[in-house]
Structure 1
Amino acid sequence: MTFTLPAELTVHDIAQIARGAQIRVSASARSVIADHYQAANAIAETTPVYGRSTGVGANRLTSADTDPATHGMRLLRSHAVDAGPAWDEETTRAMLAVRLNQLLQPGSGIDPALIDGLERMLIGNHLPEVRRFGGIGTADLPALAGTALALAGERPTSREGFQPIGPIRADSALPFMSSSALTLAGSALAADRLNILIRAGLSAFALSALAARANPEAFSPEAALAIGSPTSDANAETVTAILGATRWEPARIQDPFAYRGFLPAVSVTASAAQRLSDAVATLCSRAQENPRFFADQGRVVHHGAFLENWLAHELDATALALAQSAPLIVGRLRFINDDAFSGLPRFLARAESGDSGIMIVEYVAASALGEIFSNSAPVSAQSVVLSCGVEDDATFATTALGKLEGSAAALETLLACEILASVRALRLGDLRTDQLSPAVLRLLELARALPDDVSDRDLRHDVEIAQGLISGFAEVAATF
């Protein structure tokens, strides 16, 4: 698949590009940017422009007294300071795609040579090294400055053969850096991953509910009407469709909240992930550069739109939503392990053996839950003052992204534990396959990869196998 840019990229589109899908820049868009570049330069000849004719930050009142090429390269070199571990290839590719798509929205006044360079970087997979620490949610200055140095030929790329574009002038140095493309890229990948996990969670819950003989009224379309959240209808319909014609006699009129509260809890998480996906998609197609040129008005506008308050809020809100729904997974593990609740051998072990079964799997899940809890405290309420007091706010969107990534990884472990437990419980319950829906049969077919030995043994590999089933479980839910 090849994506033609600019486009209204979804988080899934960005994830596909990150994994290797190709891009190309439309000829018409390149022509528009070339015209906009000339118009911006004409405006800058008669109007002071931050970062072009001045320094930046606390140096905003200081005139740039060097030639444009020297000023531009000095600005990039001074800002290209990042630290910590390098981001992975997928995130770096996503960053380049996001920045290219943004720059193809007229507003930055950037030299088209940088457009061409970014396109060649992506097509040839000539990637800069970008490290984790440097962004505070006010534009990913170090990451993009370092990328610009790679474009200019002062830093290496991941593959040999990249033809640099040469020195970058002051008319393009600050505009290129004025974006949170790295944080947006990571947010897109996190949102896409969460969407997969949420779908897999619907499938896993269907098996858990079946294993516990939970009352299906609590997650029916009728119950969704009472919940009223934006995704509750769809989530109820999906779980109901997965279970299909599968019928059982409920063991209880009222189940614990681990089952009865699933629909309202997962709908909060699904709604949060959808809002995050929408915010990322919007921001990846906006010219947020400071300053922004309006060629049709002959104006340049200085602003603070690069503060990623919206993004930081949605990242924090999604992490908090996970902290609301994830405890119910641990609750379902606790109940299915209790013979008084499930009617199955305690800890789903060999009957009357004293074996520990999957007891410790519950501990593993609780450990993952602790990670989600620790990542749920919002960081967007914090701030910092920098650059002699001129830069007097920060959203910490990049930090919020790191916390959400940690929560998503923990959620994968939680889902693996639930899949492992529900499959073992169903096997011990001697289900009749002729009473199961095609979707449930498909899930159980996928789960055949899990060993059926219930004797006490090392279950690390079982958890890993269950984690490997998540994408398949998500695909089953996605068919409805």
Structure 2
Amino acid sequence: MTYTLPTELTVHDIAAIARGAGIRVSASARRDIAEHHRAANTIAETRPVYGRSTGVGANRLTTAAADPTTHGMNLLRSHAVDAGAPFGAETTRAMLAVRLNQLLQPGSGIDPILIDGLERMLAGNHLPEVRRFGSIGTADLPALAGTALALTGERPTSVDGFEPIGPIRADSALPFMSSSALTLAGSALAAARLETLTRAGLAAFALSALAARANPEAFSPEAALAIGSPTSAANAETLNALLGEAVWDPARIQDPFAYRGFLPAASVTTSAVRRLSESAETLCSSAQENPRFFTDRGTVVHHGAFLENWLAHELDATAIALAQSAPLVVGRLRFINDDAFSGLPRFLAPSGGGDSGTMIAEYVAASALGDILAGAAPVSVQSVVLSCGVEDDATFATTALGKLERSIEAFETLLACEILVAVRALRLSDVSDEGMSPAVRRLLELASALPEDLSDRDLRGDVEVAQSLLDGFAEVAAEVRAFTAVAAAS
């Protein structure tokens, strides 16, 4: 698939481009940017423009003495310092796509030659090396300055043969850097992954609830009305579509919160992911450059929109939401492993004799939970003062993203442990095929990849297999939800 830019990119569009989908710039957009560039230059001749005719940061009151080419290249070279491990190709491709889509929204006054360069970078997969440290949530200056140097030929790209665009002048140097494209790209990828994982989590819970003979009243449509969160009704509908007409006698009138509290907690998480997607999608299609030219009004505006407060808030909120859901997963593992609760062999080890069965899955899950709880500490409430006191705030959106990415990795492990334990419990239970919905049967067919050997043995491979099932579980949940929505509409 090839995406024509500019467009309102979704988080899934960005994920597809990150994985290799093509892009192209429309001819009309290229003409619009060329006209905007000419008009911005005319405005800049009549008044000082930050970063173009002045220095930056504490040098904002200093007139740029060098010629435009020297000034532009000096800005890029001085800002291109990053450190740490390099990002992977998918994140870098996503960053380039986001920055290109933003620059195609008139506002930066940038020279269209940079548009051409970014398009060719993506088309040929000529990627710059972008490293971990350097951003504080006030534009990804080092990452984009380094990308600009790769465009000029001063830094190498991942694949030989890229034709440099030549030196970048002052009219385009700061505008190109003035974006949080790297952080936005990572946020979009995180949101897209979390949408998959939250659906997989619904499917995994359906198996856990069936194995535990949990009281389905707690995740019924009526319960969703009582919860009242924006996604509780949809989550309840998905769960009930997964379980279908399957009926069982609840083992308890009131289950522990690990089951009874699933729908409220999961709905907080899905709501948070929805808000994160909305913020990332909006900003990936916005001109946020400082200063921003409004050529139709004949003016340029200096502002602080590059402070990614909204994004940082949603990243922190999503990490906190995961931290509310994750302990309930560990709780379900603990209860299913407890013979007094489940009525199944302790630790799902039917041979007895002190066998530990799936006991260690609780420990693996608890270890992952630790990372999720640590990631819930918000960083957007912190700040830092830089550049002789002039840059006196920071959102740390990039740090918030890094925490969330680690929480997502841990959440995948948690869900894998839940699938492993729930499937083993169902294999040991007396639930008949007649008591299973078609969707549950499909989930168990996918889970047939898990070994049936119930003896004490190394379960590392089992956890890995369970983790590989997450995308398939998410697809089943999405399909039954879509079918239910169509049926309700007809």
Q: TM-score, normalised by structure 1?
A: 0.99
Deviation (angstroms), 1:225:
0.4
Determine helix, strand or coil for the equivalent of 1:4. Answer: strand
Q: Residue by residue, what CA displacement relative to the aligned partner does 1:116-163 show, whole Å, maximum 9, x if unpaired? A: 000000111100000010000000000000000000110000001110
1:41 match: 41
2:197 match: 197
1:395 and 2:401 matched = no
* CA distance in 2 between partners of 1:436 and 1:394 (Å): 52
1:300 match: 300
Q: Residue by residue, what CA displacement relative to the aligned partner does 1:188-217 show, whole Å, maximum 9, x if unpaired? A: 001111111100000000000000000001
1:219 and 2:219 matched = yes
Deviation (angstroms), 1:352:
3.0
Q: Residue by residue, what CA displacement relative to the aligned partner does 1:426-454 show, whole Å, maximum 9, x if unpaired? A: 00014311331110000000000000111
* CA distance in 2 between partners of 1:369 and 1:445 (Å): 28
1:256 match: 256
Q: Look up the equivalent residue of 2:349 and give its one-letter code.
A: A
Determine helix, strand or coil for the equivalent of 1:38. Answer: helix
1:103 match: 103
1:234 and 2:219 matched = no
1:445 match: 445
Determine helix, strand or coil for the equivalent of 2:235. Answer: helix
The 5 Å alignment of 1:47-126 reads: 47-126=47-126
* CA distance in 2 between partners of 1:447 and 1:232 (Å): 27
Q: Look up the equivalent residue of 2:238 and give its one-letter code.
A: T
Determine helix, strand or coil for the equivalent of 2:24. Answer: strand
Q: Look up the equivalent residue of 2:252 and give its one-letter code.
A: R
* CA distance in 1 between partners of 2:473 and 2:451 (Å): 18
1:355 match: 355
- What fraction of aligned residue pairs are identical, expressed as a percent? 81
Deviation (angstroms), 1:288:
0.4
Q: Residue by residue, what CA displacement relative to the aligned partner does 1:265-308 show, whole Å, maximum 9, x if unpaired? A: 00000000000000000000110000000001110100111000
* CA distance in 2 between partners of 1:23 and 1:463 (Å): 37
The 5 Å alignment of 1:421-440 reads: 421-440=421-440
Q: Look up the equivalent residue of 2:137 and give its one-letter code.
A: G
2:407 match: 407
The 5 Å alignment of 1:464-475 reads: 464-475=464-475
1:169 match: 169
* CA distance in 1 between partners of 2:313 and 2:148 (Å): 29
| Number of equivalenced pairs | 480
Q: Look up the equivalent residue of 1:425 and give its one-letter code.
A: A
1:5 and 2:22 matched = no
1:310 match: 310
1:140 match: 140
Q: Look up the equivalent residue of 1:77 and give its one-letter code.
A: R
Structure 1: gaps spanning 5 or more residues: none
2:459 match: 459
Q: Residue by residue, what CA displacement relative to the aligned partner does 1:199-241 show, whole Å, maximum 9, x if unpaired? A: 0000000000000000001001111000000000000000000
* CA distance in 2 between partners of 1:439 and 1:2 (Å): 34
RMSD over aligned Cα atoms: 0.6
- Maintained 8 Å contact 2:319/2:375: yes
Q: Residue by residue, what CA displacement relative to the aligned partner does 1:361-390 show, whole Å, maximum 9, x if unpaired? A: 100000000000001000000000000000
* CA distance in 2 between partners of 1:10 and 1:173 (Å): 28
* CA distance in 1 between partners of 2:435 and 2:374 (Å): 42
Q: Look up the equivalent residue of 1:315 and give its one-letter code.
A: L
* CA distance in 1 between partners of 2:373 and 2:428 (Å): 33
Q: Look up the equivalent residue of 1:83 and give its one-letter code.
A: A
Q: Residue by residue, what CA displacement relative to the aligned partner does 1:173-198 show, whole Å, maximum 9, x if unpaired? A: 00000000000000000111111110
Q: Look up the equivalent residue of 1:390 and give its one-letter code.
A: V
* CA distance in 2 between partners of 1:407 and 1:459 (Å): 22
* CA distance in 1 between partners of 2:459 and 2:313 (Å): 38
1:342 match: 342
- Maintained 8 Å contact 2:351/2:455: no
* CA distance in 2 between partners of 1:352 and 1:292 (Å): 70
* CA distance in 2 between partners of 1:85 and 1:221 (Å): 47
Q: Look up the equivalent residue of 1:114 and give its one-letter code.
A: L
* CA distance in 1 between partners of 2:11 and 2:168 (Å): 30
1:149 match: 149
Deviation (angstroms), 1:354:
1.6
1:31 and 2:31 matched = yes
Determine helix, strand or coil for the equivalent of 1:93. Answer: helix
Q: Look up the equivalent residue of 2:326 and give its one-letter code.
A: A
**Structure 1 residues 426-435 or 219-228, which shifts more?**
426-435
* CA distance in 2 between partners of 1:216 and 1:432 (Å): 18
* CA distance in 2 between partners of 1:175 and 1:390 (Å): 19
* CA distance in 1 between partners of 2:244 and 2:9 (Å): 34
* CA distance in 2 between partners of 1:163 and 1:99 (Å): 19
2:208 match: 208
Determine helix, strand or coil for the equivalent of 1:419. Answer: helix
* CA distance in 2 between partners of 1:20 and 1:261 (Å): 40
Q: Look up the equivalent residue of 1:87 and give its one-letter code.
A: F
Q: Look up the equivalent residue of 1:191 and give its one-letter code.
A: A
2:484 match: none
Q: Look up the equivalent residue of 2:408 and give its one-letter code.
A: A
* CA distance in 1 between partners of 2:434 and 2:40 (Å): 70
* CA distance in 2 between partners of 1:103 and 1:263 (Å): 41
Q: Residue by residue, what CA displacement relative to the aligned partner does 1:386-432 show, whole Å, maximum 9, x if unpaired? A: 00000000000000000000000000000000000000000001431
* CA distance in 1 between partners of 2:277 and 2:374 (Å): 23
Determine helix, strand or coil for the equivalent of 1:24. Answer: strand
Determine helix, strand or coil for the equivalent of 2:85. Answer: strand
* CA distance in 1 between partners of 2:305 and 2:278 (Å): 18
